Amino acid sequence: MFEQTLPRTLDPRRLAEQAVTLEGTLPLSGFLRLREYLVKEAILSRKIKGTLSFSFGVGGVILVNGRIEAQLPLQCQRCLDTMDYDASVDLLLGLVRTKNVQLMTGYEPYQMEDDRLCIQDLIEGELILHLPLVARHSEQDCHLGGSGMELPQNEAEKVKRTKKHPFEALNALKADKTLGED
């Protein structure tokens, strides 16, 4: 299938005038801020997919409707292996130059520095915002298995020994009782 590369920066006003919808990808390796959160060795040739429609809203505000999709390699905080996180973010943005612009309900303001819109920055910011607080495999996929309580051998031994104590105490109690019954 033909896959277009998205432009890194564009003129959103011109695209809004023509009611353009852009669809394409950007290489994940180019997202330097986002890469800080990812398993570096797993980034390789992965791509971020984006669909962005440009139009005008009330008062001539440029609106961006769209969707970003990416499979991001995160480190599972339980087993420390790589897990693929399917990120998908719906965009409903109004491009503004100052913070105090009233937007239509449901639209978030996105502040632009000048007339050019850096698509890469926009996508990167949205993906970082939507990363999970704690990355974890689902229980059946995690290499630590269902419990998530597996411990190194020594630790496990220690726990086993500690766990024995209540029973020993109980046995001692039983023994006392038997003696008493005599």
Site of interaction with Zn ion (CB under 5 A): 76, 78-79, 137, 142
Q: Which is nearer to Zn ion, 47 or 137 (CB)?
A: 137
Instruction: Give me the least distance between CB of 94 and Zn ion, in Å please.
Output: 39
Q: Which is nearer to Zn ion, 47 or 78 (CB)?
A: 78
Looking only at the bridges linking them, the beta strands covering 108-111 and 82-96 are parallel
Instruction: Give me the least distance between CB of 89 and Zn ion, in Å please.
Output: 24
Instruction: Give me the least distance between CB of 76 and Zn ion, in Å please.
Output: 3
Cβ–Cβ under 8 Å, residues 67 and 89: yes
Instruction: Give me the least distance between CB of 140 and Zn ion, in Å please.
Output: 10
Instruction: Give me the least distance between CB of 152 and Zn ion, in Å please.
Output: 16
Sign of CA dihedral 51, 54, 55, 60: positive
Q: Which is nearer to Zn ion, 30 or 148 (CB)?
A: 148
Q: How many CB atoms lie under 10 A from the CB of residue 95? A: 23
Q: How many CB atoms lie under 10 A from the CB of residue 74? A: 20
In whole angstroms, how far apart are CA 118 and each of 111, 121, 162, 180? Answer: 11, 5, 59, 85
Q: Which is nearer to Zn ion, 100 or 138 (CB)?
A: 138
Cβ–Cβ under 8 Å, residues 47 and 16: no
Q: Which is nearer to Zn ion, 33 or 143 (CB)?
A: 143
Give Rg (Cα) of the chain. 27
Q: Which is nearer to Zn ion, 84 or 121 (CB)?
A: 84
Contacts of 109 (CB under 8 A, 6+ apart): 93, 94, 96, 99, 101, 103
Instruction: Give me the least distance between CB of 115 and Zn ion, in Å please.
Output: 45
Nearest Cα residue to 136 out of 148, 122, 121, 127: 148
